Amino acid sequence: MAKISIVGSGSWGTAIAIMLAEMGHNIILWSYLESESQALNENKENIPFLPGVKIPDNVEYTSDISLCGDSDLIIMATPSHGMRNTAKALKPFVSEGQRILNISKGIEEESLLTMSQVIADELPMCDVSVMSGPSHAEEVSRKIPTTNVIASKSPETAEYIQDLIMNPNFRIYTNTDILGVELGGSVKNVIALCAGILDGMGLGDNTKAALMTRGLVEMTRLGVALGAKKETFSGLSGIGDLIVTCTSMNSRNRRAGILIGQGKTLEEAQKEVNMVVEGVRSCRAVKALADKAHVDMPIVNEAYKVLFEGESVTDALKNLMGRTKKNESEQDFLHINS
C-alpha cells in the first residue's frame, strides 16, 4: 500500500481520500485552514460537502503541508484560484521526480495556464499528470461506479497511477493528451452553467441537447487550435464530463445557472450554491484563450456577456438562435467561422 497525500479537503479531495483509504492506502488529507482539519478529525466526516459519508480511520488530517512532501503520490485537489500559492507552499518539501496528480479543473485567469501548467511552473522538478472525467464527488464517495481518464506525458507514470487507484468502482483509462483532458474539464463548466440557465428559464430537452452538442464543438475547436487532440474531446474528459455536468443536480455549475436563469444575479447564485463555481472563473479564462487564439466560441461569448456585462438571458438566447446560417459539417475545427 502507498502513502498518498491529498492537498485540498473540499468535496472532491475528500471523496478521493475516502476511496483510497478504503483501498488500504495510507492517506494524508491536507486542509488550508487548521479549523477545517480539526473538524474533519473530530467528525470523521466532511459535514459541509459530503454529509453522512464516514471517512476511514487510516486518514491523517493536517494543515501542515510539509507532511505531504514524502509521498508515493501527491494529489492536488485545491480550487484553481488557489493552485499556484499551494504549489509554492509545497515546493520546499518535494524532491526531484515526485509524482503529482492534479484533479482540479480550471484555468488560471492571470496567465491562462491550465492547472498542470501552473503546477509545473512552480514545481518543475516534479512529474505532473492529470485526472478528469464524469465524477461527482457525492457519487464517488458512495462507491457508485465511475470512470475517469489519467493523462501523462509518460505512459509509465500513467500506468503507475492507474494501478495505484483503480478499483472495482473506479475504472481508469490512460491518455497522453494532458492539454486536451484539462481543457475539456474546464470548458464543460461554462457549458454546464449555460445548461442550468436554460433549465432556469424553463426551456426543454431540445434546447439543452443543442447547447451540449454545439458546446462540444466549441470545446473541441478551442482544444485543437491550442494543440490538443480532437479525439480527446470524444472521450471521458470531453463529452463524458460535459454530459454529467450539464444534466446532474450534483453539478454546482448547473445549479448556479438555474438560479441565474430564474432571474437571480451572479452574486446571489454563487452565495446560494455556497461552493466554488468554477464555470464563472473558467468563462473569463476560456473567452480570453479563444480571443487570443482567434477561435470562434459563440456560446462562451454569450455566457460572458450574461455573467459580466449585464446581458439578459433572453437576449443571449436570441443572439445564438439568430446567428447567420451555417453548414454543420466541419472538416476540422480550425479556421471555421461557425
Asked if residue 228 belongs to a domain, the reply is yes
Q: What's the structural domain count of the chain?
A: 2
Catalytic machinery residues: 188
Shared domain check, 141 and 77: yes
What pLDDT is attached to residue 330?
A: 61
Residue with C-alpha cell 492529470?
Answer: 130
What pLDDT is attached to residue 247?
A: 96
What pLDDT is attached to residue 333?
A: 47
Cα–Cα distance, 185 to 285 (Å, whole number): 13
Cα–Cα distance, 180 to 241 (Å, whole number): 13
Shared domain check, 183 and 171: no
Shared domain check, 288 and 226: yes
Alpha helices, H only, 226-273: 241-247, 252-261, 266-273
Shared domain check, 232 and 152: no
Shared domain check, 313 and 206: yes
Phi, then psi, of 217 in degrees rounded to 5:
-60, -45
Query: Is 19 in contact with 106 (CB distance < 8 Å)?
Result: no
Cα–Cα distance, 127 to 60 (Å, whole number): 24
Sheet with 26-30, edge to edge strand ranges: 59-62, 26-30, 3-7, 73-76, 99-102, 127-132, 146-151, 170-175
What pLDDT is attached to residue 125?
A: 97
Query: Is 90 in contact with 123 (CB distance < 8 Å)?
Result: yes
Shared domain check, 207 and 170: no
Asked if residue 247 belongs to a domain, the reply is yes
What DSSP string runs through 41-72?
Answer: HHHSB-TTTSTT-BPPTTEEEES-GGGGSS-S
Shared domain check, 278 and 135: no
Shared domain check, 227 and 96: no
Q: 30-33 contacts: CB < 8 A, separation 24 or more?
A: 30/5, 30/6, 30/62, 30/63, 30/64, 30/65, 30/67, 30/68, 31/61, 31/62, 31/63, 32/8, 32/63, 32/78, 32/82, 32/86, 33/63
CATH code: domain of residue 164: 3.40.50.720
Shared domain check, 169 and 266: no
Q: CA–CA distance from 211 to each of 126, 194, 321, 330 (Å)? A: 38, 8, 11, 17
CATH code: domain of residue 297: 1.10.1040.10
The mean pLDDT values, 10 residues at a time, for the chain of 338 residues are: 96 98 98 96 96 96 95 96 97 97 95 97 98 97 98 97 98 98 96 98 97 97 97 97 96 95 95 87 96 97 97 98 85 48
Amino acid identity of residue 77, one-letter, is A
Shared domain check, 251 and 152: no
Residue 327: all three cell numbers together: 453548414
What pLDDT is attached to residue 56?
A: 97
Give the range of the structural domain holding residue 255, as residue numbers without chain letter: 179-321
Asked if residue 13 belongs to a domain, the reply is yes
